[in-house]
């Protein structure tokens, strides 16, 4: 008993050390996977912000030629999962490339995100919400337009269905049976 008891204590200590080491390794791998997914989302958001800046410099907006802007933007975004919205400061939709230009439009589905972007004067990403036009879960990236350019337009928005982010979030390299949300 005198010889076996210290040996048994040593084996238990080694088992705890091994379990602790495995847990640390799993935590580290999980953090790396989360950072990889975060970088993928960050790239997508940066691409959306760049697209907004390019669309925001459109001469059609300055001239108030919304139908021409709608047609050109809809053609430009064809083949992507992005849709452009032009909204007044009160949230009234002026155009939505998800639908034909002649379609009667109401107010956008997330007024607080518009108000926040207009107040800050910076491009902002909204929370996830149910889109008024699509009925899907979406998120917006909002670019407030400069006051001298606005006219009736308060902001230019790119919207995307949350479900379409699965194309950005690759599960390759993740452990078997893991999912991403």
Measured CA to CA, the distance from residue 51 to residue 15 in angstroms comes to 54
Q: What is the largest CA-CA distance in the chain?
A: 93
In angstroms, the CA 51 to CA 80 distance is: 12
96 close to 74: Cβ distance less than 8 angstroms = no
CA 43 to CA 58: how far, in whole Å?
A: 23
Q: Could you tell me which of 157, 146, 161 has the C-alpha nearest to residue 87?
A: 157
One digit per residue, pLDDT tens: the chain, 181 residues? 778 888 888 889 899 999 999 999 988 888 888 888 888 889 999 999 999 999 988 889 888 899 999 999 999 999 899 999 999 999 999 999 999 999 999 999 899 999 999 999 999 999 999 988 888 999 999 999 987 766 678 999 999 998 888 877 776 767 777 777 6
* pTM of the predicted model as reported, rounded to 2 decimal places: 0.79
What b-and-e string marks burial along 9-27, b requiring 16 or more CB atoms within 10 Å of the CB?
Answer: eeeeeeeeeeeeeeeeeee
């Amino acid at each position: 008993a005198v010889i076996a008891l210290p040996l048994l204590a040593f084996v238990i200590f080694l088992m705890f050390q091994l379990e602790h080491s495995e847990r640390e390794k799993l935590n580290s791998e999980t953090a790396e996977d989360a950072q990889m997914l975060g970088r993928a989302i960050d790239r997508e958001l940066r691409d959306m912000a760049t697209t907004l800046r390019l669309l925001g410099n459109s001469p059609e907006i300055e001239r108030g030629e919304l139908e021409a802007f709608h047609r050109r933007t809809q053609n430009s975004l064809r083949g992507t999962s992005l849709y452009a919205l032009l909204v007044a400061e009160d949230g009234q939709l002026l155009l939505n490339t998800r639908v034909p230009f002649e379609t009667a439009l109401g107010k956008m589905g997330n007024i607080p995100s518009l108000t926040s972007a207009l107040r800050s004067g910076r491009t902002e990403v909204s929370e996830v919400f149910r889109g008024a036009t699509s009925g899907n879960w979406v998120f917006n990236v909002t670019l407030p337009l400069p006051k001298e350019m606005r006219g009736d337009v308060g902001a230019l928005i790119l919207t995307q269905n949350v479900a379409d982010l699965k194309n950005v979030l690759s599960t390759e390299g993740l452990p078997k049976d893991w999912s991403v949300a």
